Structures are given as C-alpha cells and as structure tokens.
Amino acid sequence: MQSSAVKTSREARVRATRSAAIRETRPEDYDRIAALHRRNGLSIPPFEHWIGLWTGNPAYSPEDVPLGWVLETERGEIAGSVGNLPLAYEFRGRALTAATAYGWVVDEAYRSYSVMILSRFLRQSGVDLFVFTTVGDKAEPIYSAGFQLSRVPVGAWNRSAFWITNYRGFSRSLLNRRGTPFAGAMRSCLALGFCLWDRWHGRSIPAAAHEYRVEFCSEFDRRFDDFWETLRRENPHLLAVRNRETLEWHFRGARPSILDIFQGSRMVAYAIFSRQDNSALDFERIRFVDFQALEGHSAAVSTALQWMLRRCRRDGLDALEVMGDWLHRTGLPRIDPPYRRTLSSWTFYYKAADPELAEALRDPAAWIPSSFDGDASL
C-alpha cells in the first residue's frame, strides 16, 4: 500500500498539471522565468542581455515572432518556458527563416507539459527550419523519439575534440575534477605523459600555408559584409547568415577572438574563437566557434589553428576545443585533434518544415555546420 505522503504528493502533481496554461512570453515575464531557471539549476543572463536576444536580432520582427511560450499556473507562477529565437539561413540561393529553442525548462511537478510546450514551439507558422544545438541527455529522447527530429549528418555532435596547450594546468584541472588523492604530486607526471603523447603522435594539423596573413581583430568591420556577399554567392551549402550586423548581435558582449585571414590585401577567410572558462574546475580554455573561407582557401583553417594554439600556449590557457568535432566537414583539410571526450548526448538536431527541403538536407554534402549554428555560442 502506498504511504499517505506519496499519495498526497502524486495527487498534488495531478492537480498542478490541470491548472496551468501555455501562452506567449512577454518581456515582463523575465523575473519569473529567471526564478524558474534558478530553481532548476540553470543560469540565465541579466534582463538586458536576455531581451537583446530578440530586440537586437536582425531576424526578429515583433509583429510576427513571439518571444517564446511560458506555462503559467492559476496562481500566476511560471512553471515552464521555451524561448523562440529567429535566425536567418540561406540554402542554394534561397533565404530561409529558422528558429532555435532557447532555455527550454519545466518544473518537475509540471513535466507532463514538457512535450506540449515544445510542440507549441514546433507548430509555429512561417518557419522553414528548426535547429536545436544544445540538446542535453534528459531532453534528447523527446527530440529524437518523441518528435522524430533528425541528427545533423556532419560532425560528431556527441563528442568534443581538443588540443592541450598547458600540460600542467590541464593535468591540475583533470585531477581536481576526479578528486584524485595526492593530486599535487601526480600533476607533473600526468603533464609529462600528455606532453610525450603529443610528441609521439606528431602533427595533428597540416602545415600552415605561408601565403596567408592573420590579423587579430576585436570587432566586426565593413570587410565582413563584403566577405559575406562573396561567400553566399559561392556557397551551395546550408549556411547561417553571417553579415556584419548578425555577427555583432550574435557575439555582443562576448568579446570573441576574431582572426581575419588575408591573401595579399584580400580577406579570404575568418576564424572566431570564444573564451569558455570553468572557474569551478580551475579550467581555462578557448573554443573554436566558426570558420569560413572563400572558394579555394579552405587550407587557411590550418593557419588559423596554428596561430591560436600559439596564443593559447603563450597566455597559459589549458586547452583549445572544438565542440561537435565539426572540423570533419566538406572541403576542409584533414585535421585530427589528439584528444576527444564523449558528451552525454547528441547535441545538434534539426527539422525542416518543407518535405523538399527535408529531403535535400538528408545529404551530408548539404551541410557545413559549426558552433555558430543555433544558440550554441550565444
């Protein structure tokens, strides 16, 4: 027989799920959405940054695009939320309206509404492509089995690939994370082992071409508009819009490391890196977010990586990471980072609203994804 406490708890949960409704998100919901995130162990940016996801977004139209949807109880509490971020893509000369789910979270007592609130997101009109780039292990069964969304067919979005750029710092963080006894004494031995491993396995990046010149930038300037216009004309793949306005919005406040790559006086490629530290683990790293090159200049990725690896070693950063191992994509030279770790889920799913588009995107050759897609680097 069930205990009265268990029975009472279950009855309360049933009553709770009967007394909530899904409605569109309003800016004044922020404080309650923030409280929802915090009590579920999730972070959320300050209001100015959060609302800027829409108000500063070149793809956002307040008349046509809801901020998202919330689950509101009879008592006025918000027990669930999903943000609706519009994005602009292009594919074979066609402009596509895309959307990504941002901050999908539901209180435990209302988990029966989880599918309903995500279903509301997927039923919105006027969207050609839905992209999900931060899918966690608890949500993945809903995306894959529940809604039968598709995995992106390029890259390995259930793993991270990386280079160690500070052997002692990386070893310290690894031992601390595992709670290893006598970590201080073991750190030097482990660091030496990583160093010898890298020397034994040799070069993981093709030699950088001398024809390319790297210029470190702190902002996106007008050259990115010129670059984008050429890139979009040359590129037959599915590609998120990367003009200057969109790049500035995407990386606002993030202070990314931007490498403009030139052949002579012409900008022929760029690479974007983002600092991703973990203070709890005393771990400092750089993440490779995006690389784009004009036709015939994909080899410039080696120049960008070699440049950033030198910078990481100079500055004492512990690692350079590529989430999703997207460097293994069409057109890039073969690059094999020496280390990989397995993630808890496949993080990148998509759904095309149009059957013809869905069929075209089943072809891996249609994709050149990176961590710029969706909300992975917002």
Which pLDDT does position 367 carry in this prediction?
97
Helix or strand run (H / E) with residue 112: none
pLDDT at 9 over 80: no
Which one has a higher pLDDT value, 160 or 183?
160
Which pLDDT does position 168 carry in this prediction?
93
* Token reading at 237: 């793949």
What's the CA gap between 159 and 317, in Å, rounded? 21
pLDDT at 17 over 60: no
Q: What is the pLDDT of residues 81-131, one digit of tens each?
A: 999 999 999 999 999 999 999 999 999 999 999 999 999 999 999 999 999
Which residue matches tokens 């993945």?
140
Q: What is the pLDDT of residues 280-327, one digit of tens each?
A: 778 999 999 999 999 999 999 999 999 999 999 999 999 999 999 999
DSSP string across 263-298: ETTEEEEEEEEEE--BGGGTB-EEEEEEEEE-TT-T
Q: Which residues contact 308 (CB under 8 A, 6 or more apart)?
A: 257, 259, 271, 273, 286, 288, 320
All domains in the chain, ordered by first residue? 4-127 (3.40.630.30), 159-344 (3.40.630.30)
Q: Which residues contact 328 (CB under 8 A, 6 or more apart)?
A: 154, 155, 156, 334, 335
What's the CA gap between 26 and 62, in Å, rounded? 11
Q: What is the pLDDT of residues 354-373, one digit of tens each?
A: 999 999 999 999 999 999 99
Contact (CB, 8 A) for 71 and 81: yes
The gap from C-alpha 1 to its chain's centroid, in whole angstroms, comes to 47
pLDDT at 25 over 80: yes
Q: How confident is the model at residue 18 (pLDDT cuts 50, 70, 90)?
A: low
What's the CA gap between 209 and 213, in Å, rounded? 9
